[in-house]
Amino acid sequence: MSEPSSRKISKLSRRKLIATGLTAAAGVAGVGVAARLAQKYGLVPPDHGGIWGLGETLTYASQRLLTRHSLAREFSRSQISKPPFANELEPFTDEFKRLQAGGFADWRLSVNGMVARPTSFSIDQLKSYPAHNQITMLQCEEGWSYIAEWIGVPLSQVLQTVEVLPQARYVVYFSIEPDWWESIDMADALHPQTLLTYGMNGDELPVGHGGPLRLRLPRQVGYKNVKFITQLAVTDSLKGFGKGLGGANAEGGYAWYAGI
């Protein structure tokens, strides 16, 4: 992105309006009920303490209670966007170009934290699991969207392989781009539509769309769909990661839970 700061500022004020509107609409009684429900079900997002805390908790808790088990809409092949819209990226680093020149044979996804068997996967190893396809919409919070076929391995398959410990609550995922990391709760991590994708529209996943490996999470907006994934950390708390808000975007003022 060429102008990250101006982009964040405009979004920040928009988020503030949304949060304020939500809180006002819920009314004092509604807020109390939602807050109690959120506590009861452990649905307090890590960014709840911010200036828009109440709004974020409300959005996360109500989405979670209503849509925990629902699926994002899937489309038919004829609805695939031509061409898909690729958002702007920072220029690729020398390290990335070296990996790309080698056909990403040396790319690794390392999985650690609260798992019985910390493991480092190559792209070929990920491709050795049964491939899953989905035709879903990627929606940026800035208003644009596109539909594509995504091909990959369910995140749940990888988590099962490394044996997630029972106390785990979140999966934190990191890009090779240092400013890009995010996290999701176990409900989203184990959701059948949450894929580690390496393919798009019948082909390799283009680098513009996050190749060789991208987390695809159709039930949350664009910025949670982090490109160039190199690491997953399984944890029971987000406090030890960055400022403890659960992701680089939450630290920039966006919602940690960005459900659609």
CA 54 and chain centroid, separation: 22
For residue 193, what are the contacts with CB-CB under 8 A and spacing of at least 6? 71, 72, 134, 136, 216, 217, 218, 219
Choose between 26 and 226: whose C-beta lies nearer to ligand MTE.
226
C-beta of 46 vs 222, nearer to Mo ion: 222
CB of 86 to ligand MTE, least distance (A): 4
d(CA 127, CA 118): 19
**Which one of the spans 63-71, 186-194, 220-228, 230-238 is the region binding ligand MTE (CB under 6 A)?**
220-228
188-217 residues in contact with ligand MTE (CB under 6 A) are 209
- CA quadruple 177, 1, 238, 196: dihedral positive or negative? negative
Joined tokens for residue 201: 């529209």
> Radius of gyration of the chain from Cα atoms?
18
Residue type, position 28, single letter: V
Residue 233 structure tokens = 């950390």
Q: Point out which span in 11-19, 25-33, 81-89, 112-120 binds ligand MTE (CB under 6 A).
A: 81-89
Does residue 260 interact with Mo ion by CB under 5 A? no
- Binding string, residues 112-151; x marks residues near ligand MTE by CB under 6 A: --------------------------x-x-----------
Instruction: Decide: 241 and 172 in contact? Cβ < 8 Å.
Output: yes
The mark string for 10-49 relative to ligand MTE (x by CB under 6 A, - otherwise) is ----------------------------------------
CB of residue 105 to ligand MTE, shortest distance in Å: 21
What mask of x and - would describe binding to Mo ion in positions 195 to 234, judged by CB under 5 A? ---------------------------xx-----------
Task: Of 98, 26, 100, 86, give the one whose Cα is nearest residue 56.
Answer: 26
* 219 interface partner picked from ligand MTE, Mo ion, none, CB below 5 to 8 A per type: none
Contact 134, 150 (CB under 8 A): yes
Interface residue list for Mo ion (CB under 5 A)? 140, 222-223
